[in-house]
Amino acid sequence: MRRAFMAAVPIVSHFKCRAPNKYPGAPKTVARFPVPNDKISWDVDYSEYKPPSYTSQHVIGAPWADRDVESSDLCFKFNQVDGKVDRRSFMGSYRVVDGIARNPIGRTGICGRGLLGRWGPNHAADPIVTRWKRTASGEKILKEGKPVLQFVAIQRKDNGEWAIPGGMVDPGEDVSATLKREFGEEALSCLELSAEDQEKIKKFVYNLFEHGEKMYEGYVDDPRNTDNSWMETVAKNFHDETGDAFNRVNLRAGDDAASVSWIDVGHEMKLYASHCDFLSRVATLRKAYY
């Protein structure tokens, strides 16, 4: 059994979800209430704290989302499996105040669900697919004496940022299935391929995802987070040591991605949410440049 490399060490960044600008996709008038570093914790008094409430119209009434808080029969089973929806957090039990979940890391400057479908934790899965960067003759390329890793990245359509090709875990879905599905949908689009080529890609994804190293599970510093809804993820590294597997498969951006590419791993990267933290852990595991 493969061990979960550093997965128990939490990533506690809480910066992108406190950015002092308007909430993503919200009207200009919806800006986060300022939350200084010393006022993040709910245990610290902050009597002036009056965050605006915002839930996107895209979320309200969506079949994949929770009912709105104004519903008179609102009753969720927080901190447990609620029907098929897993409302447990990787961070342990979180507080429920006035019947609504409270962000376990602290204040974000905005309440409601924002762009997220679930009250409480919204679970995602992030497949980190890597290979070694090589010369035309097949030699590993070194930087500062260490081999350079490359990972499959997609460019998000909503904000143009580069990211790991992850996605949301469907109710009742196993995380392993989500990892395979999201990578296939976002980085290996099959829409314009023949049935034979589609089958080849399916076999490739299945074989690659048979083995992986869990890099992290827990809270994600996501710009969509609010006081009542937040992102959590399971990030796994699937490494193609020889690079042979990808010689037979071309990367193709799916409907949710503007572009897809191999990107060099290093401290120079600028990625969405906590994705740089995940890649740093992969580099440490693989003894690669960072």
Query: Which domains are assigned to the chain?
Result: 124-286 (3.90.79.10)
| HEC profile of 214-266 | EEEEEECCCCCCCCCEEEEEEEEEEEECCCCHHHHCCCECCCCEEEEEEEECC
Give the pLDDT of residue 258.
83
Q: Residue with structure tokens 């919204």?
A: 122
Q: Half-sphere exposure of residue 107, counting CA atoms within 13 Å on the CB side?
A: 24
Q: Which amino acid is at 127?
A: P
**Where do runs of H (alpha helix) occur along 83-163?**
none
C-alpha distance from residue 72 to each of 69, 99, 124, 197 (Å): 8, 12, 29, 51
Task: Look up the pTM and report it.
Answer: 0.86
| Residue 25 region by backbone torsions, left for phi larger than 0, else alpha for psi between -120 and 50, else beta | left
Give the pLDDT of residue 80.
97
E strands, the chain, in order: 53-55, 81-82, 85-86, 96-97, 100-101, 111-114, 120-132, 142-143, 146-147, 149-156, 162-163, 167-168, 213-219, 229-240, 257-264
List the pLDDT tens digit at each of the 290 positions of the chain: 334 444 444 556 799 999 888 899 899 889 999 999 999 999 999 999 999 999 999 999 899 999 876 555 668 999 999 999 999 999 999 999 988 999 999 999 999 999 999 999 999 999 999 999 999 999 999 999 999 999 999 899 888 999 998 889 999 999 888 888 888 777 776 556 677 877 776 777 777 788 899 999 999 999 999 999 999 999 999 998 988 767 666 777 777 778 889 999 999 999 998 999 999 999 999 999 99
Give the pLDDT of residue 187.
73
Q: Which two tokens stand for residue 49?
A: 């704290």
